[in-house]
């Protein structure tokens, strides 16, 4: 038996071949068992922690494929045998290809996990935009891994990078407007100046965001029409997110009759303060007699209404106006003109 094991086959003894193949099989089984054990342990740890890093690590471990482990172990074992240079060259190239494929799978799994995790925590994100950004991240990872693999295989990557750089500049100049919108979409998704469903105001236009795409954002105006904004132009504009406002300030003006007695006029700011306090859903900033003219005596009041609800703000403002008019009627204070309400 020992003599048979010492028989040479392709410049290596049978014993060397058996040792190499046994080592490859043992290494494959060990890695597979470690993968299973690590996945179970990490899953138990992830269930007790709120962080997503351990979940990302689980996704990376699960992306490892048995056939790739076997090929890598087999290639590593064969590289220790005495084989022709051409055979070692082929084995090395195969190992590099398998490692690159496995690295691409692992990188893609990590990016996909973080994209889903980020999207699940931000409900306002558009799925198409999130998916496109995930694809962009994958492309960056793939290109990086392939370049590293080519460098490890002995290719001159510098020349390739130079060519890609020149070609990339030419392409970027040709499609700079599209690229500007793409980067603006990425900025909107990551920085979140607004999300789908927010009410925004751009210059003199107001509406609700209904879609955030890669090139444009669609807004439904208060009149019902859909307005399409270029992402780059939208970020360059003075954009106001009305859904995130902490409150609204309104200035309410009453013009009293010119012959209103001074004693009654002096009571007007106090009456309005009592009305605002009784209504209870707004804060009085000031209430003063502002001017006296031929058309009447102007009394100006400023109130702050908390919260972003536009309809609620109108209801509160209406309640203040109706309450003030009721008190004026009770106190015998007449109005000269209509009530003017100015949002500020």
- Counting residues of the chain whose pLDDT is more than 70, the rounded percentage is 83
- pTM, whole model, 2 decimals? 0.50
Tokens, residue 214: 């890669």
Give the pLDDT score at 308.
Answer: 75
Segment 15-35, tens digit of pLDDT: 777 888 888 888 888 888 888
Identify the CA nearest to 70 among candidates 95, 39, 106: 95
- Give the whole-angstrom CA distance, residue 99 versus residue 133: 25
- Burial call 177-215: b when 16+ CB within 10 Å, e when fewer: eeebbbebbbebbeeeebbbebbbebeeebbbbeebbbe
Q: How far apart are the first and last CA of the chain?
A: 99
According to the 3-state scheme, what is the secondary structure of the chain? Answer: CHHHHCCEECCEEHHHHHHHHHHHHHHHHHHHHHHHHHHHHHHHHHCCCCCCHHHHHHHHHHCCCHHHHHHHHHHHHHCCCCCCHHHHHHHHHHHHHHHHHHHHHHHHHHHHHHHHHHHHHCCCCCHHHHHHHHHHHHHHHHHHHHHHHHHHCCCCHHHHHHHHHHHHHHHHHHCHHHHHHHHHHHHHHHHCCCCCCCEEEECCEEEEEEEECCCEEEEEECCCCEEEEEHHHHHHCCEEEHHHCCEEEEEEEEEECCCCCHHHHHHHHHHHHHHHHHHCCCEEEEEEEEEEECCEEEEEEEEEEECCCHHHHHHHHHHHHHHHHHHHHHHCCCECCCCEEEEC
Residue 8 near residue 37, CB atoms below 8 Å: no
Give the pLDDT score at 32.
Answer: 83
Residue 231 near residue 184, CB atoms below 8 Å: yes
Segment 255-297, tens digit of pLDDT: 998 888 888 888 999 999 999 999 988 889 899 988 888 788 8
- Mean pLDDT, the chain, whole residue set: 80
Give the pLDDT score at 325.
Answer: 92
| Interval 246-259 mean pLDDT | 86
Give the pLDDT score at 322.
Answer: 93
pLDDT-based confidence at residue 163 (cuts at 50, 70, 90): low
Segment 107-152, tens digit of pLDDT: 888 888 877 777 766 555 556 566 767 777 788 888 888 888 887 7
Give the pLDDT score at 42.
Answer: 73
| Interval 51-80 mean pLDDT | 80
Residue 193 has pLDDT above 80, yes or no: yes
| Interval 224-249 mean pLDDT | 84
Segment 304-328, tens digit of pLDDT: 988 777 788 889 989 999 999 999 9
> Are domains 191-244 and 247-343 of this chain identical in fold?
no
Q: Name the CATH code of domain 247-343 (choices 1.20.120.1200, 3.40.630.10, 3.30.70.60, 3.60.20.10).
A: 3.30.70.60
Identify the CA nearest to 222 among candidates 322, 311, 104, 299: 311
Tokens, residue 23: 């080592």
Q: Name the CATH code of domain 191-244 (choices 2.30.30.60, 1.10.150.120, 1.10.630.10, 1.10.1050.10).
A: 2.30.30.60
Give the pLDDT score at 27.
Answer: 83
In degrees and rounded to multiples of 5, residue 8 shows phi and psi of: -90, 140
pLDDT-based confidence at residue 300 (cuts at 50, 70, 90): very high
Give the pLDDT score at 273.
Answer: 92
- What are the sequence ranges of the domains in the chain? 2-173, 191-244, 247-343
Residue found under tokens 């107001």: 206
Give the pLDDT score at 124.
Answer: 52
| Interval 50-68 mean pLDDT | 79
Residue 227 has pLDDT above 80, yes or no: yes
Tokens, residue 134: 């995930």
Which range among 63-72, 159-168, 261-270 shows the weakest confidence by mean pLDDT? 159-168
């Amino acid at each position: 038996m020992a003599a048979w094991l010492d028989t040479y086959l392709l410049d290596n003894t049978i014993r060397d071949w058996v040792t190499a193949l046994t080592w490859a099989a043992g290494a494959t089984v060990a890695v597979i068992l470690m993968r299973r054990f690590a996945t179970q342990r990490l899953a138990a740890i992830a269930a007790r922690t709120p962080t997503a890093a351990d979940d990302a690590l689980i996704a990376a471990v699960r992306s490892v494929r048995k056939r790739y482990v076997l090929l890598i172990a087999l290639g590593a074992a064969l590289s220790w045998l005495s084989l022709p240079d051409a055979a070692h060259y082929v084995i090395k190239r195969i190992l590099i290809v398998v490692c690159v494929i496995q690295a691409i799978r692992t990188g893609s799994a990590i990016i996909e996990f973080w994209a889903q995790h980020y999207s699940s925590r931000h409900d306002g994100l558009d799925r198409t935009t999130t998916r496109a950004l995930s694809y962009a991240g994958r492309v960056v990872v793939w290109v990086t891994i392939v370049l590293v693999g080519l460098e490890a295989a002995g290719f001159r990557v510098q020349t390739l990078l130079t060519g890609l750089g020149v070609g990339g500049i030419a392409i970027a100049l040709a499609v700079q407007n599209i690229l500007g919108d793409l980067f603006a979409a990425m900025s909107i998704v990551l920085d979140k100046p607004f999300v789908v469903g927010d009410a925004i105001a751009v210059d003199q236009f107001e509406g609700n965001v209904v879609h955030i795409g890669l090139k444009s954002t669609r807004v439904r105006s208060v009149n019902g029409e859909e307005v399409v904004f270029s992402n780059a132009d939208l970020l360059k504009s003075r954009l106001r997110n009305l859904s995130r406002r902490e409150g609204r300030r309104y200035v309410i003006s009453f013009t009293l009759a010119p012959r209103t007695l001074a004693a009654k006029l002096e009571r007007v700011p106090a009456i309005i303060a009592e009305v605002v306090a009784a209504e209870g859903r707004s804060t009085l900033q000031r209430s003063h007699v502002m001017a006296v003219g031929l058309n009447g005596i102007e009394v100006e009041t400023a109130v702050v209404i908390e919260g972003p609800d536009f309809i609620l703000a109108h209801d509160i403002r209406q309640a203040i106006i109706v309450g003030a008019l009721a008190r004026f009627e009770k106190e015998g204070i007449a109005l000269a003109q209509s009530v003017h309400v100015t949002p500020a």
